[in-house]
């Protein structure tokens, strides 16, 4: 996936979010640290451009909600920032890659600790399959069939100087 197709995918997701929710009213985006936050910002920008309504954006760090803390720790822990009332919104979780589903489960647990959202939807740039939990995305930029030994890396200009999605051979670090 190159920068142009990523741009198109995000614009399409923004339209789909607006269509599914009949506009931007009552929507909030919650990006999952770290790249999900940048994607949430980009989606919010597009939604505002299309609809003329600004949607609030928050960031979720799920390090303390992972079910594999005994196996490995997050190398870097950030702070969660939810600058809106969870109860009053339909929250669209945003992440770069959907894989086993465990990150999304952890993100939903984290979100629930802030309140009871009206509903939670999920937007991901890439769905690479291999689910271990019954979780599916409502909005997908691109389905990328992969082998488990492969690693999907989303590069964003905010961190990596360019926009792209690349598939790498697993270096043992995992997602």
Binding positions for another protein, rule: CB under 8 A: 61, 63-73, 77-80, 100, 102-103, 109-110, 113-115, 173-175
CB distance 6 to 21 below 8 Å: no
Nearer to another protein by Cβ, of 42 and 89: the residue is 89
Q: Which element (helix H / strand E) includes 19?
A: helix 3-20
Q: What is the closest distance, in whole angstroms, from the C-beta atom of residue 103 to another protein in the complex?
A: 7
| Closer residue to another protein, CB minimum distance, 6 or 59 | 59
> Closer to another protein at the Cβ: 7 or 68?
68
Minimum CB separation from another protein for residue 175, in Å? Answer: 5
Tell me 33's DSSP state: T
Torsion sign over Cα 15, 160, 97, 101? negative
- Going by C-beta distance under 8 Å and a sequence separation of 6 or more, which residues neighbour residue 154? 35, 96, 97, 125, 126, 164, 165
Closer residue to another protein (CB): 4 or 79: 79
- Minimum Å gap between C-beta 164 and another protein is 22
Closest approach of another protein to the CB of residue 99, in Å: 8
**C-alpha torsion sign, points 144, 150, 30, 138:** positive
């Amino acid at each position: 996936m190159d920068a142009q197709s990523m741009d198109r995918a995000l614009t399409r997701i923004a339209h789909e979010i607006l269509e599914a929710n009949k506009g931007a009213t009552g929507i909030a985006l919650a990006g999952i640290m770290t790249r999900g936050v940048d994607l949430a910002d980009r989606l919010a920008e597009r939604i505002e451009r299309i609809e003329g309504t600004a949607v609030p954006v928050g960031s979720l760090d799920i390090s303390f909600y992972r079910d594999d803390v005994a196996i490995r720790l997050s190398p870097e822990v950030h702070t969660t920032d939810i600058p809106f009332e969870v109860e009053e919104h339909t929250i669209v979780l945003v992440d770069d890659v959907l894989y086993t589903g465990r990150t999304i489960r952890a993100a939903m647990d984290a979100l629930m600790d802030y309140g009871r959202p009206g509903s939670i939807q999920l937007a991901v740039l890439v769905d690479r399959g291999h689910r271990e939990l019954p979780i599916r995305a409502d909005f997908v930029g691109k389905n990328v069939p992969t082998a488990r030994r492969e690693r999907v890396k989303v590069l964003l200009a905010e961190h990596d100087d360019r926009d792209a999605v690349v598939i790498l051979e697993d270096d043992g670090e995992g997602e």
